[in-house]
Structure 1
Amino acid sequence: MTVTADTLRRELADTLAHSGKLTDSAWRAAIENTPRELFLGPSFYRGAGTQWEPVHRDQLGMEEWLRLVYSDTTWVTQVDGIDAAETPGPASGNPTSSSTLPSLVARMLELAAIRDGDKVLEIGTGTGYSTAILCHRLGDQRVFSVEYDPGLAALAAKRIHAAGFTPTLVTGDGLLGHKDSADYDAIVATCSVRSIPRSWPYQVREGGSITTALGGWMMASGLIRLTVDADGTASGRFTGDTIGYMLARPHERPPRGPLFQHPGTTRPTRGNPDIVKSWIGHFLAQLGAPSAELMTTEHSVILVDVATGSQAWTEPAGGGWTVHQHGPLRLWDQVEDALTAWKEAGKPDQSAFGMTVTDNAQTVWLGEPSGPSWQLPA
């Protein structure tokens, strides 16, 4: 029996619905009727980390290709700016564009609480798949999408139009939003940001929402929906979802040269440094030292701040651990302070954290706005 894309789309929607990841019938209809294969093109990458293997449709055959397309998987479509269709063999590098797994697309749209008739600004058109889903639900005139990469923007536009949709597509810096068509009922970002761009709250109506992943240079992440007030402030709580998006390109990490571990000052750590390898520990480490990068080995945690040259690294010692710190910032002290505040609060999960955005500061807090807090690099 020949498997068709229509059948696989319905099966995907069934799977997402049965898992509880797709509860809104309007979004289900959009997923059942949006041809994801159109937005993945003839090729994509599979792999992990920095090692990638191109998957080409003409080498797999249509049925196997479609089964991969309609799996609930994120498929990387670009590595270091190179499209998978242009890659004959294995590639090394960092992903720079992807087609997000459909369950996360659905999760973001449902979390944003978008309703019929809403006007939505999408930050990061990417392949155009989620843009088309928005158009199916809201209509072309209610959907606006901004893509930073001109090549991706042109390809996405071609695919979106081929799917029969004509939303407003903008090539530019999504961190600036798109003020020409404001105010929006919702902004949904398909990239992560180190802090909320100040343009976003001012382009959302009072009571509207901003749904995004908060990320950083340690590549930790937290999903949050913020509600915008009349004065342009915004606040909300993290969901606790273990999800991640690529950082918006203007928020990417700066280049880092070779790592030289300086002894610096040495002291015992207050606990097992491996805690930062957990989802919540990773998130707390990034809050504590937001300008640092994180690397881990089997026996060590390494923090490096490119701007100041500060670094910290841990090692086992006599049944415990020691930390070496060098430079003007005591990076491990900052991380341990964040971990200590979390432990004293009872070690809650990420949903216990919230965020407040004002003109003067962006603050992540634990429990309540008056609780332990950390300033973001706004």
Structure 2
Amino acid sequence: MAPDVVPTAAKLRHRLAARLADDGWLRSPAWRAAVEAVPRHEFVRCFYRETDTPGLTAWTPVTAGLCGFDEWLRQAYADETLVTQFDGQETDWNDPKPISGAHPTSSSTLPALVVHMLEELQVDDGTTVMEIGTGTGYSTALMCHRLGPDRVTSIETDPHVAARARHALDRCGYAPRLLVGDGLAGDPEGAAYDRTIATCGVRHVPYTWVRQTRPGGLVLATLRGWMRSLGLVRLTVDREGRAEGRFIDSDSSFVIARQHDAPASLGVIPAPDDGTSRRTPYGPDVLTSAGTGFMAQLALPGARFFSLPADDGTPRTYVLDATSASFAVLTPKSDDDWNVRQGGPVALWDMLENALDTWHAADCPVPTEFGVTVTGKSQRVWLGAPDGPCWRLPAFLSPSGL
């Protein structure tokens, strides 16, 4: 590497730490010291950044050789997510090409979210941590600096991703316990841990994580679905093996765990005369807006949606649930009036409207007013209190949604 990389990188780390502190993400001196010390550029020697190209989402490769050391370093210390793998396939970094329409499967998450999670983990000097999803190894390194490598275990599913992380950690002088395997199964050999943190999104909290976290310990994970992220939840484990807590925010979003990823097929597009039609006050925006989108993900955990014009040019939004073969199709009647046609075993749009009725009756609560309860037999998201209105998480759903 060029001789000026080390001092330049140190300045950029301190600048990044100051910005994260000013923005309220970085609050404690110990975690600030970790951000100032750990060289993120060692974990993202090669990466992709999203471009502004119209059409399909596109990424361009970034390395020191392609754009120069100064620009590579600047981007490495930007508060942005840097993608390092697509579709589970390794990039030929001897001749990297721009990529479009691909699915990111590994990345270095934006530092603001990383330090936000680490602050919310509520560690002290003696805390042991199990990390699910080593990724590039950057967050692993931050925990090694804060807690000591002997108190950090990290599990990565992809052996190629794990190998790159191990090399980067070795270069930085950190030697945590690194495992390659199914992160959803956790680490029974090393249990019980004081803290479990997942740097991948999950549709439900694997109960193995609860069993492998000591009573009084915390599980920190991002719940998400196939339509959107629900948010970051912090659960406290009790002596009966129950874990319960509330959403901390709804802004966190990680690459979904590969074991929880959506099936390749969206489902079968219904024929024009399939299903039963009626009026609905809700259009497709209800699936993407902040509050209503959160409720849509709770109500329709197995669904995905997309829009296609009909032969006459009329826009249609399809909501398909491949797990139950149910569907809902939205078409506009007027500016504020929609028609929904639904069919299959589950009346998808009825379920969404029922959830929205509950949400509106509670004065449109924000995600932090929701909580999660996890036991060995069920998992549910509840509103207000554990005995309030609730929605089952998909691991425990029957095809009827009950």
How high is the TM-score relative to the length of structure 2?
0.90
Query: Alignment partner of 2:229: what SS?
Result: coil
2:341 pairs with one of 324, 328, 348:
324
Does 1:268 pair with 2:273? Answer: no
Query: Alignment partner of 2:43: what SS?
Result: helix
Report the Cα offset of residue 99 of structure 1.
Answer: 0.3
Report the Cα offset of residue 279 of structure 1.
Answer: 2.2
Report the Cα offset of residue 326 of structure 1.
Answer: 2.1
Q: How does 1:61-210 map to 2 (within 5 A)?
A: 61-84=68-91, 85=93, 88-92=96-100, 93-210=102-219
CA displacement 1:234-275 (0-9 Å, x = unmatched): 011112241211111100101215752434210111434412
Kept in 1, the 8 Å contact 2:46–2:84? The answer is: no
How high is the TM-score relative to the length of structure 1?
0.95
CA distance in 2, matches of 1:377, 1:95: 23
Q: Name the residue aligned to 1:10.
A: 14
CA displacement 1:3-38 (0-9 Å, x = unmatched): 700000000000000111100110100010000000
C-alpha root-mean-square deviation of aligned residues, in Å?
A: 1.8
Q: Name the residue aligned to 1:286.
A: 297
Q: Decide which moves more: 59-68 or 256-265.
A: 256-265
Given residue 116 of structure 2, which amino acid in structure 1 is its aligned partner?
Answer: R
Does 1:312 pair with 2:328? Answer: yes
CA distance in 2, matches of 1:32, 1:233: 37
Given residue 59 of structure 1, which amino acid in structure 2 is its aligned partner?
Answer: L
CA distance in 1, matches of 2:376, 2:95: 45
Kept in 2, the 8 Å contact 1:220–1:282? The answer is: no
Query: Alignment partner of 2:96: what SS?
Result: coil
Kept in 1, the 8 Å contact 2:48–2:59? The answer is: no
Q: How does 1:188-267 map to 2 (within 5 A)?
A: 188-256=197-265, 260-263=269-272, 264-267=275-278
Report the Cα offset of residue 50 of structure 1.
Answer: 3.9
Q: Name the residue aligned to 1:19.
A: 23
| Matched residue count | 377
CA distance in 1, matches of 2:98, 2:222: 30
Kept in 2, the 8 Å contact 1:270–1:336? The answer is: no
Structure 1 pair 209–296 and aligned structure 2 pair: CA distance change class (3 A): farther
Q: Decide which moves more: 276-285 or 62-71.
A: 276-285
Report the Cα offset of residue 88 of structure 1.
Answer: 2.6
Given residue 271 of structure 1, which amino acid in structure 2 is its aligned partner?
Answer: Y
Q: Name the residue aligned to 2:374.
A: 357
CA distance in 2, matches of 1:52, 1:83: 15
Given residue 76 of structure 2, which amino acid in structure 1 is its aligned partner?
Answer: V
Report the Cα offset of residue 367 of structure 1.
Answer: 1.0
Given residue 225 of structure 2, which amino acid in structure 1 is its aligned partner?
Answer: G
Given residue 169 of structure 1, which amino acid in structure 2 is its aligned partner?
Answer: L
CA distance in 2, matches of 1:308, 1:356: 25
Q: How does 1:328-347 map to 2 (within 5 A)?
A: 328-347=345-364
Report the Cα offset of residue 332 of structure 1.
Answer: 1.1
Query: Alignment partner of 1:208: what SS?
Result: strand
Structure 1 pair 346–304 and aligned structure 2 pair: CA distance change class (3 A): same
Which sections of structure 1, spanning at least 5 residues, go unmatched?
none
Kept in 1, the 8 Å contact 2:267–2:321? The answer is: no
Q: Name the residue aligned to 2:33.
A: 29
CA distance in 2, matches of 1:275, 1:43: 34
CA distance in 2, matches of 1:90, 1:276: 31
Given residue 353 of structure 1, which amino acid in structure 2 is its aligned partner?
Answer: F
Q: Decide which moves more: 279-288 or 86-95.
A: 86-95
Structure 1 pair 358–43 and aligned structure 2 pair: CA distance change class (3 A): closer
CA displacement 1:164-222 (0-9 Å, x = unmatched): 01100000011011011111110010001100101011111111000010011223331
Kept in 1, the 8 Å contact 2:291–2:364? The answer is: no
Kept in 1, the 8 Å contact 2:267–2:322? The answer is: no
CA distance in 2, matches of 1:87, 1:242: 35
Given residue 341 of structure 2, which amino acid in structure 1 is its aligned partner?
Answer: H
Report sequence identity in percent. 45
Kept in 1, the 8 Å contact 2:286–2:296? The answer is: no
CA displacement 1:266-311 (0-9 Å, x = unmatched): 0111434412211222221111111111335795542111123211
CA distance in 1, matches of 2:266, 2:390: 32
Displacement over 6 Å in runs of 4+: none
Q: Name the residue aligned to 2:398.
A: none
Query: Alignment partner of 2:189: what SS?
Result: helix
Report the Cα offset of residue 87 of structure 1.
Answer: 5.6
CA distance in 1, matches of 2:302, 2:141: 36
Given residue 311 of structure 1, which amino acid in structure 2 is its aligned partner?
Answer: F
Which sections of structure 2, spanning at least 5 residues, go unmatched?
310-314, 396-402
Query: Alignment partner of 1:53: what SS?
Result: strand
Structure 1 pair 86–227 and aligned structure 2 pair: CA distance change class (3 A): farther
